[in-house]
Structure 1
Amino acid sequence: MLKAVAIKIDDIYIPADRRKERDPARIESFAENIIDEVEVEPIRVRKGKDKNKYVLVRGVNRLEARKELGDETIFAYVVQALQR
Protein backbone atom coordinates (compact mmCIF):
# COMPACT_ATOMS: atom_id res chain seq x y z
CA MET A 1 0.00 0.00 0.00
CA LEU A 2 1.28 3.44 -0.90
CA LYS A 3 2.01 5.90 1.88
CA ALA A 4 1.53 9.62 1.22
CA VAL A 5 4.49 11.85 2.08
CA ALA A 6 4.73 15.64 2.32
CA ILE A 7 6.75 17.17 -0.50
CA LYS A 8 7.72 20.79 -1.14
CA ILE A 9 5.70 22.11 -4.07
CA ASP A 10 8.78 23.91 -5.41
CA ASP A 11 10.49 20.51 -5.77
CA ILE A 12 7.88 19.23 -8.25
CA TYR A 13 8.38 19.60 -12.00
CA ILE A 14 5.25 19.58 -14.18
CA PRO A 15 5.89 18.03 -17.62
CA ALA A 16 4.35 19.75 -20.66
CA ASP A 17 1.79 16.97 -21.23
CA ARG A 18 0.55 17.36 -17.62
CA ARG A 19 0.33 21.17 -18.00
CA LYS A 20 -2.14 20.65 -20.87
CA GLU A 21 -4.49 18.92 -18.41
CA ARG A 22 -5.01 22.07 -16.31
CA ASP A 23 -8.70 22.87 -15.91
CA PRO A 24 -9.54 26.15 -14.12
CA ALA A 25 -12.95 24.85 -12.99
CA ARG A 26 -11.42 21.72 -11.45
CA ILE A 27 -8.66 23.77 -9.81
CA GLU A 28 -11.29 26.01 -8.20
CA SER A 29 -13.32 22.99 -7.09
CA PHE A 30 -10.27 21.34 -5.50
CA ALA A 31 -9.34 24.62 -3.78
CA GLU A 32 -12.85 24.88 -2.31
CA ASN A 33 -12.67 21.27 -1.09
CA ILE A 34 -9.30 21.93 0.54
CA ILE A 35 -10.64 25.04 2.28
CA ASP A 36 -13.69 23.06 3.45
CA GLU A 37 -11.29 20.37 4.71
CA VAL A 38 -12.74 17.73 2.40
CA GLU A 39 -10.09 15.06 1.98
CA VAL A 40 -8.40 15.29 -1.41
CA GLU A 41 -6.48 12.30 -2.79
CA PRO A 42 -2.70 12.80 -2.82
CA ILE A 43 -1.03 13.53 -6.14
CA ARG A 44 1.41 11.04 -7.71
CA VAL A 45 5.03 11.88 -8.41
CA ARG A 46 8.17 9.99 -9.32
CA LYS A 47 11.77 10.75 -8.45
CA GLY A 48 13.47 13.04 -10.93
CA LYS A 49 17.00 12.75 -12.27
CA ASP A 50 18.03 15.00 -9.38
CA LYS A 51 17.02 12.74 -6.48
CA ASN A 52 15.88 15.76 -4.46
CA LYS A 53 13.32 16.69 -7.14
CA TYR A 54 10.12 15.03 -8.32
CA VAL A 55 8.20 14.80 -11.60
CA LEU A 56 4.42 15.04 -11.52
CA VAL A 57 2.73 11.88 -12.78
CA ARG A 58 -0.88 12.64 -11.87
CA GLY A 59 -2.79 15.43 -10.13
CA VAL A 60 -1.96 18.71 -11.86
CA ASN A 61 -5.27 20.33 -10.83
CA ARG A 62 -4.83 19.33 -7.18
CA LEU A 63 -1.26 20.68 -7.28
CA GLU A 64 -2.39 23.96 -8.87
CA ALA A 65 -5.14 24.31 -6.25
CA ARG A 66 -2.57 24.01 -3.47
CA LYS A 67 -0.38 26.60 -5.21
CA GLU A 68 -3.30 29.02 -5.50
CA LEU A 69 -3.99 28.62 -1.78
CA GLY A 70 -0.37 29.51 -1.02
CA ASP A 71 0.60 26.11 0.35
CA GLU A 72 4.29 25.22 0.32
CA THR A 73 3.86 21.45 0.65
CA ILE A 74 1.50 18.80 -0.71
CA PHE A 75 0.94 15.15 0.10
CA ALA A 76 2.00 12.80 -2.66
CA TYR A 77 2.45 9.14 -3.43
CA VAL A 78 5.94 8.49 -4.77
CA VAL A 79 5.62 5.88 -7.54
CA GLN A 80 8.12 4.11 -9.76
CA ALA A 81 8.82 5.40 -13.26
CA LEU A 82 7.56 3.21 -16.07
CA GLN A 83 10.28 1.03 -17.52
CA ARG A 84 10.52 1.13 -21.35
Structure 2
Amino acid sequence: MLKSQKIPISQIHVSAARRKTLHPPTVRLIAESIDKNGLQTPIQVRHDGKRYVLVDGLHRLEALKWLGETTVDSYLVDTSRH
Protein backbone atom coordinates (compact mmCIF):
# COMPACT_ATOMS: atom_id res chain seq x y z
CA MET A 1 0.00 0.00 0.00
CA LEU A 2 1.27 3.43 -0.91
CA LYS A 3 1.93 5.87 1.89
CA SER A 4 1.61 9.56 1.20
CA GLN A 5 4.36 12.00 2.07
CA LYS A 6 4.50 15.79 2.17
CA ILE A 7 6.54 17.28 -0.65
CA PRO A 8 7.33 20.98 -1.16
CA ILE A 9 5.26 22.23 -4.09
CA SER A 10 8.27 24.24 -5.28
CA GLN A 11 10.16 20.97 -5.92
CA ILE A 12 7.54 19.53 -8.30
CA HIS A 13 8.14 19.90 -12.03
CA VAL A 14 5.17 19.97 -14.40
CA SER A 15 5.96 19.44 -18.07
CA ALA A 16 4.85 22.05 -20.59
CA ALA A 17 2.71 19.45 -22.37
CA ARG A 18 0.88 18.57 -19.16
CA ARG A 19 0.49 22.24 -18.22
CA LYS A 20 -1.36 22.81 -21.53
CA THR A 21 -4.18 20.57 -20.24
CA LEU A 22 -4.88 22.92 -17.33
CA HIS A 23 -8.52 24.05 -17.07
CA PRO A 24 -8.76 27.06 -14.69
CA PRO A 25 -12.49 26.62 -13.86
CA THR A 26 -11.71 23.07 -12.70
CA VAL A 27 -8.87 24.39 -10.52
CA ARG A 28 -11.29 26.81 -8.86
CA LEU A 29 -13.85 24.07 -8.14
CA ILE A 30 -11.20 21.74 -6.73
CA ALA A 31 -9.75 24.56 -4.61
CA GLU A 32 -13.20 25.17 -3.11
CA SER A 33 -13.55 21.46 -2.35
CA ILE A 34 -10.07 21.24 -0.79
CA ASP A 35 -10.77 24.35 1.28
CA LYS A 36 -13.97 22.77 2.60
CA ASN A 37 -12.99 19.08 2.88
CA GLY A 38 -9.21 18.91 2.64
CA LEU A 39 -7.25 17.07 -0.03
CA GLN A 40 -8.95 13.68 -0.40
CA THR A 41 -6.58 12.05 -2.89
CA PRO A 42 -2.83 12.76 -2.85
CA ILE A 43 -1.15 13.64 -6.15
CA GLN A 44 1.34 11.22 -7.71
CA VAL A 45 4.96 12.12 -8.43
CA ARG A 46 8.10 10.31 -9.48
CA HIS A 47 11.66 11.29 -8.66
CA ASP A 48 14.02 11.61 -11.63
CA GLY A 49 17.18 11.89 -9.53
CA LYS A 50 17.07 15.68 -9.36
CA ARG A 51 13.47 16.67 -8.76
CA TYR A 52 9.95 15.41 -8.41
CA VAL A 53 7.95 15.15 -11.64
CA LEU A 54 4.17 15.24 -11.61
CA VAL A 55 2.57 11.99 -12.76
CA ASP A 56 -1.07 12.64 -11.81
CA GLY A 57 -2.96 15.48 -10.12
CA LEU A 58 -2.29 18.69 -12.06
CA HIS A 59 -5.58 20.35 -11.08
CA ARG A 60 -5.20 19.38 -7.41
CA LEU A 61 -1.63 20.73 -7.41
CA GLU A 62 -2.68 24.02 -9.00
CA ALA A 63 -5.63 24.31 -6.59
CA LEU A 64 -3.27 23.95 -3.64
CA LYS A 65 -0.99 26.63 -5.09
CA TRP A 66 -4.03 28.89 -5.52
CA LEU A 67 -4.90 28.29 -1.86
CA GLY A 68 -1.38 29.33 -0.84
CA GLU A 69 -0.19 25.91 0.31
CA THR A 70 3.55 25.20 0.21
CA THR A 71 3.45 21.40 0.55
CA VAL A 72 1.28 18.68 -0.91
CA ASP A 73 0.44 15.13 0.12
CA SER A 74 1.96 12.93 -2.58
CA TYR A 75 2.41 9.32 -3.50
CA LEU A 76 5.92 8.61 -4.77
CA VAL A 77 5.52 6.16 -7.63
CA ASP A 78 8.12 4.13 -9.48
CA THR A 79 7.61 4.45 -13.21
CA SER A 80 10.77 2.61 -14.24
CA ARG A 81 10.45 -0.60 -16.21
CA HIS A 82 12.22 -3.67 -14.86
TM-score scaled by length of structure 2: 0.90
**Is residue 9 of structure 2 the alignment partner of residue 12 of structure 1?**
no
Counterparts of 1:20 and 1:56, CA distance in 2: 14
Question: Deviations for 1:53-74, whole angstroms, at most 9, x for unmatched residues?
Answer: 2000011100000001110000
1:81, distance to aligned residue in structure 2 (A) = 1.9
Which runs of 4 or more aligned residues in structure 1 lie more than 6 Å from their structure 2 counterparts after TM superposition?
none
Consecutive unaligned residues of structure 2, counting only runs of 5 or more, are: none
Consecutive unaligned residues of structure 1, counting only runs of 5 or more, are: none
1:38, distance to aligned residue in structure 2 (A) = 4.5
Instruction: Give the match's secondary structure for 2:79.
Output: coil
Counterparts of 1:72 and 1:20, CA distance in 2: 22
Counterparts of 1:44 and 1:7, CA distance in 2: 11
Q: 1:60 aligns with which of 58, 61, 82?
A: 58
Counterparts of 2:80 and 2:48, CA distance in 1: 13
Contact kept in structure 2, 1:33 and 1:40, CA below 8 Å? no
The AA in structure 1 aligned to 2:25 is: A
Instruction: Give the match's secondary structure for 1:40.
Output: coil
Instruction: Give the match's secondary structure for 2:37.
Output: coil
